[in-house]
Amino acid sequence: MNDDAMDLRARNRQATREAISHSALRLAIEQGPHGLAMVRVHDIATAAGVSPRTYNNYFSSREEAICSFQADQSRRVGQALRSRPAGEPLDQAVIAAVVELYTDPEPDKAGLRMIMSTPALEGEALKAFSMAEGPLAEAIAARTGADLSRDLFPAVTAAAVAGAIRVAGRRWLEPGNTDAFAAILRRALSCVLPAGPAEDQRDR
């Protein structure tokens, strides 16, 4: 996050990674979902100002490079939940954390549309969204006092939340939609979030 918290090496590395990811996404959007096959690795690397060989020191496929911005976003969900006040009920905390993370700034609609409506990116996009699950499950367990290795509740809820975010994104991108992303997110999340971890949902 804080560039000056890293040494020059790390900052350059981060910058290179972002340059590649950004170029990959931009070129993909330019070609549209149906022309993905025309986006060559060589083009991405050149646009990012590196050699093709370097591109694949960072990403092992075009799909991964294109979707990496979403993967990064997902990785932040756990931390976002942890930064909510401790007393807040689980459902409110999760909703607040997710809405804040996903609406500041408003996500890139073209990018989201690209990764969510391109068949060839489907697997990688699902991977990207599911990257939230691990950290999120840990954060939920920490907040509710559940035991990740015994209770199913944290991991299942985390998966449900990730799924809800994905469905909300799909709905937000639908042609006729006029609602704000935040509103859709709240509605989607409230479908899967209990007020708190009810005792009868803990196991063993």
Partner DNA sequence: CGCACCAGGTGCGCGCCACGCAAGTTGTGG
Partner DNA sequence: CCACAACTTGCGTGGCGCGCACCTGGTGCG
CA-based Rg of the chain, rounded to a whole angstrom? 18
* Site stretch for DNA (CB under 7 A), options 48-56, 77-85, 101-109, 137-145: 48-56
CB of 30 to DNA, least distance (A): 15
By rule CB under 8 A, what string of x and - marks binding of each residue 134-153 to a copy of itself? ------------------xx
CB count, 10 Å around CB of 33? 16
Dihedral (CA of 126, 127, 132, 134) sign: positive
Give yes or no for a contact between 47 and 25, defined as CB atoms under 8 angstroms apart: no
Tokens 């299942």 sit on residue: 156
CB of 129 to DNA, least distance (A): 21
Using CB under 8 A, which residues numbered 27 to 86 contact a copy of itself? 63
d(CA 188, CA 53): 42
The item of a copy of itself, DNA, none sharing an interface with residue 201, based on CB under 5 to 8 Å by kind, is a copy of itself
Q: Which of 96, 111, 139 is nearest to 28 (CA)?
A: 111
* Site stretch for a copy of itself (CB under 8 A), options 15-23, 89-97, 100-108, 188-196: 188-196
Binding site for DNA (CB under 7 A): 7-10, 12-13, 16, 40-42, 50-51, 53-54, 56-58, 60-62
